[in-house]
Amino acid sequence: MSIAILTANNPDELHAFKSVLENNNIRCEIRQESIQAHQFYSTPGFKLYIDDSQYYNAQAILSHYGNTQHDAALNIGVEHSTAELELKGLIRQLSTLEEVEEMQGAYQPIGLTENEVATIFQEEKAYIIQRAENKFDWNEFLAALFEGRLFKYLNRNKSVKYQIEQELIRELEP
């Protein structure tokens, strides 16, 4: 895997970041171009838009590019027991708040405290609410396209934490 980092800022500022990538066997090239934010490209054409606040958060970025899922989980604090992941997997098969609330009312915790179960249900309900509030909007899509924010717009409902949890849940499946 190799990544090209395009930046409008001083490329010298990113050499520490580059060395972290290269120490993890990820070839990295830094090019200065007139763009509005750092953008990370990997060889298959995957592009990751990085906000200003994330410029130097190398470990979170690395979780996308070559660390094991376990390492990625540790990098961003996703440490779940098998019971927690199984519950999250069950909840993520549902698509509405009503279904989740119905399941929450009937769910008998096995291997989890009531507090842990309540926290998991709250987190998963928040994901559903976020997806409902961020439905596709044609005008917003076009604005994002013309302003160079398309990738960010398309991925507005996904968090690194959610995606890594999904990978860990998939690993549980036989």
Q: Let me know if 139 is exposed, middle or buried by CB neighbors in 10 A (0-12, 13-18, 19+).
A: exposed
Which residue in 1, 93, 12 sits closest to 46, CA to CA?
Answer: 1
How does residue 48 score in pLDDT terms, banded at 50, 70 and 90?
A: very low
Instruction: Please tell me the pTM assigned to this model.
Output: 0.47
How does residue 126 score in pLDDT terms, banded at 50, 70 and 90?
A: confident
| Angle CA 69–73–78, to nearest 5 | 145
- The predicted structure's pLDDT at residue 46: 36
Q: How distant is the alpha carbon of residue 11 from its chain centre?
A: 25
- The predicted structure's pLDDT at residue 25: 67
Checking if the pLDDT of 121 tops 90, the result is yes
How does residue 103 score in pLDDT terms, banded at 50, 70 and 90?
A: very high
- The predicted structure's pLDDT at residue 65: 43
Token duo for residue 136: 């596709």
Q: Which residue do the tokens 């990098």 mark? A: 75
Set out the domains of the chain in order of their start, with CATH numbers.
Answer: 2-67 (3.40.30), 82-172 (no CATH)
Per the model's pLDDT, the better-predicted residue between 64 and 128 turns out to be: 128
